[in-house]
Amino acid sequence: MLALRMIYMLVALILSITVHEFFHAWMANYLGDPTAKRMGRLSLNPLVHLDPMGTIMMLMAVYSGVGIGWGKPVPVNPYGGRMNPRTLMGITGFAGPFSNLLLAIAVAFPLRFGSLPAGVLRDFTWVMATVNISLAVFNMLPIPPLDGFSVLMAILNAIRRPWAYNSFQALARLESQGPILLWLLIMFGALMPVNILGLILSPPINFLYRLILGI
C-alpha cells in the first residue's frame, strides 16, 4: 500500500508541476511575451517541463517525505509584454499556483459529491487534490524564487507610498539570497523539533482542505 501511495504521489507531482508550468507559459504569452511559446514550453507534455535535478529531488522527496521537487523554470521576458515588467511577472507568477487550485477543485468535485467508488481511482484523485493544494500554498510563499515573491513585488510596485517603495527596494536587494533561505527553511524544518515551514503552511493548507475537500 505504501509503494502504491508513493506512485500516486509521484504521478500527481509530475502532472501538477506540468500544469503549473504550462499556465506560467500560457499567461506570459497571453500578456504579450511569446518567449516560452517560442521555446516549446506552451505544452502539456511533462517532458518539456521536467528539470533533471528537480525530478531527482522529487523522487527523493516522495521516498523520504523530506524535500521538494521542481519543474524547469518557464523563461519570461519581463520587458516583452504589454505592461509594467513587475506586473507582468506578478500575474505570470500567480498563474502557476492558481492553476493548481483550479486542478484541486476540479478533481475534488467527484470526491465531494461521492461519485467515485472506493478504489485506485478514488485514492489517486484524493492524492492529486491534496498535492495541488499543497503546491499552490507552498508556491505562494513570498520567498524567491517562489511565485509568491513575484506577486508580492508586483503588489508593492503598484502601491504609490513610501513604505511600499522602501519595502520593494529592501526585498529586491535580498532577492539573490532567497533560494538559500528557502533551502534552510526546508532542511532545518526536517531536522528541528519544531518545523517552522510546517507551522507557516499548515493553516492555509488545512483551510483549503476544508473548503475544497470538506475535511
Cα(49)–Cα(73) distance, integer angstroms: 8
Percent of the chain scoring above 70 in pLDDT: 89
SS3 71: strand
Q: Which position among 12, 20, 21, 78 bears the catalytic label?
A: 21
Indicate if 175 belongs to the active site: no
Q: What is the pLDDT of residues 126-179, one digit of tens each?
A: 999 999 998 999 999 998 889 999 999 999 999 989 999 999 999 998 888 877
Q: Which amino acid belongs to residue 163?
A: W
Supply the range of the domain harboring residue 150: 2-213
Residue by residue, DSSP assigns 4-25 as HHHHHHHHHHHHHHHHHHHHHH
**pLDDT exceeds 60 at position 197:** yes
Q: Which 8-state DSSP code applies to residue 177?
A: G
**pLDDT exceeds 60 at position 82:** yes
Domain count, the chain: 1
The pLDDT of residue 67 is 56
Residue 61 and residue 1 in contact, taking contact as beta carbons nearer than 8 Å: no
Cα(111)–Cα(213) distance, integer angstroms: 7
Q: What is the pLDDT of residues 5-23, one digit of tens each?
A: 788 888 898 999 999 999 9
pTM, entire model: 0.89
Q: What is the pLDDT of residues 108-138, one digit of tens each?
A: 988 877 766 777 888 898 999 999 998 999 9
The pLDDT of residue 182 is 77
> Where is pLDDT greater, at 55 or 133?
133
Half-sphere exposure of 97 (CA within 13 A, CB side): 21
**pLDDT exceeds 60 at position 65:** no
